[in-house]
């Protein structure tokens, strides 16, 4: 199976946090098995309606089921042909970077290049001790672990030593990235400027969740990322790679959407029993209404954030029935996304890059030349990737630590 993504400009998709939540209108809670099966159905329907991306979160505690995203995404890859599979997010703080490198390179291969990942720290404090980590070291873990992951994908033989794990000597992670090109990395953040700095330093993408806070908060993070992206020599601020989260619920008549969604909003595990639906919709990008209201709201996003590359919608949480979620996908695919594609492509400056795919990342690195072949070493040896397109980028980690500390905390 090979990658067939050809979308210009932007990618649109959905993200799930994998919660298992009681439906407040019926009192019924799906089983783990049912919720997993329903999520697979939702993922396949995402492709069927013409969307581009399916993103799956990582959690290790109830009421969430997605503790092994790459396993699930590999299954979805086998059931689809062009859908990009990604995470929202992969926990860079508590996962071993070696295992991340191996799992996502394997996902690259079995999906034919239709895989990338979003790295983040998550929002569940107890996960740190569950995996033997200290939450007080969250940012240093993020910096050091990505330094190692970056090297593992770009150097065939790695010697490495850090603070939080045992050293590596002459280590080769397997399989090597498809075509010698690592999966594209998004650094996801809700509130942390150091993560925007990290994304900028490496020239990676920055994904602003854009769900729980007013637009001004994310505007500051994205502006910082764009400025620092240019500072580190990766291009102009407009050439930085930005993704946004969002949340919608739609019916043909806006009053029907509000009436139907209200009990789910009021009882949602994340924001239930807090601000009213109306207040939350005013303060955040949550849009409950007609398809045209969603189009108007999200077509205006670039006025706040600039031209961007990926828009993901949360549509399947808080106990919403799967039938309802599939209906939301139908509306997105038929009425909303086709219009947004056109609207967000209008007057898009030529310098703004297209959304990242494996194909365009290969072209960016090799410019039509044949991709390099990995030269793994079974034993300790010299770095065998000298002269590769990643030679300079692989030095990034040690310098980044000091740069990140200068960001306004």
- In DSSP terms, which residues pair with 188 in a beta bridge? 207
- What does pLDDT average to in each consecutive run of 10 residues of the chain (409 residues)? 54 94 96 96 98 93 87 98 95 93 98 96 76 84 96 96 95 96 94 93 94 86 98 98 97 98 91 88 95 97 96 95 98 98 94 96 89 70 42 45 43
Cβ atoms 178, 108 nearer than 8 A: yes
C-alpha closest to that of 397 among 201, 192, 165: 201
- Tokens linked to 377: 């070493």
Domain boundaries along the sequence of the chain: 11-404
**pLDDT at position 8, please?**
58
pLDDT given for residue 190 in this prediction: 83
Write down the pLDDT at residue 378: 61
Strand-pair partners of 85: 54, 115
Evaluate whether the domain defined by 11-404 bears CATH number 3.20.20.30: yes
Query: Taking Cα atoms as reference points, which of 10, 2, 67 lies closest to residue 298?
Result: 10
Closest by CA position to 232, among listed 348, 406, 403, 58: 403
The per-residue pLDDT for 320 is: 97
E-state strands within 106-241: 117-120, 158-160, 168-171, 185-189, 205-208
Q: What pLDDT, on the 0 to 100 scale, is given for residue 126?
A: 82
The DSSP code for 180 is: G
H/E stretch holding 56: strand 53-56
- pLDDT of the residue at 375: 79
In the numeric block, the tokens 């793994």 are attached to 376
Give which of 110, 11, 119, 12 is closest to 57, Cα–Cα: 119
Please tell me the number of Cα atoms within 13 Å of 221 on its side-chain side.
28
- CA–chain centroid gap for 378, Å, is 33
């Amino acid at each position: 199976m090979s990658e067939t993504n050809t979308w210009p400009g932007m990618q649109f998709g959905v993200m799930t946090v994998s919660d298992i939540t009681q439906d407040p209108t019926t009192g019924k809670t799906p089983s783990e098995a049912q919720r997993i099966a329903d999520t697979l159905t939702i993922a396949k329907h995402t492709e069927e309606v013409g969307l581009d991306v399916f993103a799956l979160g990582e959690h290790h505690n109830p009421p969430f089921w997605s503790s092994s995203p790459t396993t699930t995404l590999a299954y979805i890859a086998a059931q689809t042909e062009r859908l990009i599979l990604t995470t929202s997010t992969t926990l860079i703080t508590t996962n071993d970077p070696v295992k991340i490198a191996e799992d996502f390179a394997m996902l690259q291969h079995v999906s034919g290049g239709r895989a990338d990942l979003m790295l983040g720290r998550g929002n569940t404090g107890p996960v740190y001790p569950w995996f033997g980590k200290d939450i007080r070291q969250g940012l240093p873990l993020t910096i050091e672990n990505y330094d190692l992951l970056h090297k593992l994908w770009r150097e065939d033989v790695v010697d490495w030593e850090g603070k939080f794990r045992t050293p590596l000597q002459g280590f080769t992670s397997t399989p090597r990235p498809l075509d010698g090109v690592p999966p594209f990395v998004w650094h996801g953040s809700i509130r942390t400027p150091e993560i925007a700095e990290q994304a900028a330093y490496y020239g990676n993408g920055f994904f602003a969740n854009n769900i729980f806070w007013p637009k001004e908060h994310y505007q500051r993070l994205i502006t910082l990322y764009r400025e620092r992206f240019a500072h580190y020599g990766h291009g102009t601020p407009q050439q930085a790679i930005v993704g946004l989260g969002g949340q919608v619920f739609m019916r043909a008549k806006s009053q029907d959407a509000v009436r139907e969604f209200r009990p789910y909003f009021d009882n949602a595990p994340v924001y239930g029993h807090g601000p009213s639906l109306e207040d939350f919709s005013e303060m955040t990008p949550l849009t409950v209404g007609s398809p045209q209201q969603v189009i108007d709201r999200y077509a205006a996003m670039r006025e706040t954030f600039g031209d961007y590359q990926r828009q993901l919608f949360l549509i399947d949480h808080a106990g919403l029935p799967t039938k309802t979620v599939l209906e939301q996908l139908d509306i997105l695919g038929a009425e909303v996304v086709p219009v947004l594609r056109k609207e967000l492509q209008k007057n898009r400056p030529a310098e703004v890059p297209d959304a990242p795919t494996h194909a365009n990342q290969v072209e960016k690195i090799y410019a039509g030349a044949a991709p390099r072949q990995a030269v793994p070493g079974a034993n300790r040896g010299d770095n065998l990737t000298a002269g590769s397109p990643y030679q300079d980028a692989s030095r990034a980690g040690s310098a980044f630590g000091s740069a990140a500390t200068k960001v306004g905390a």
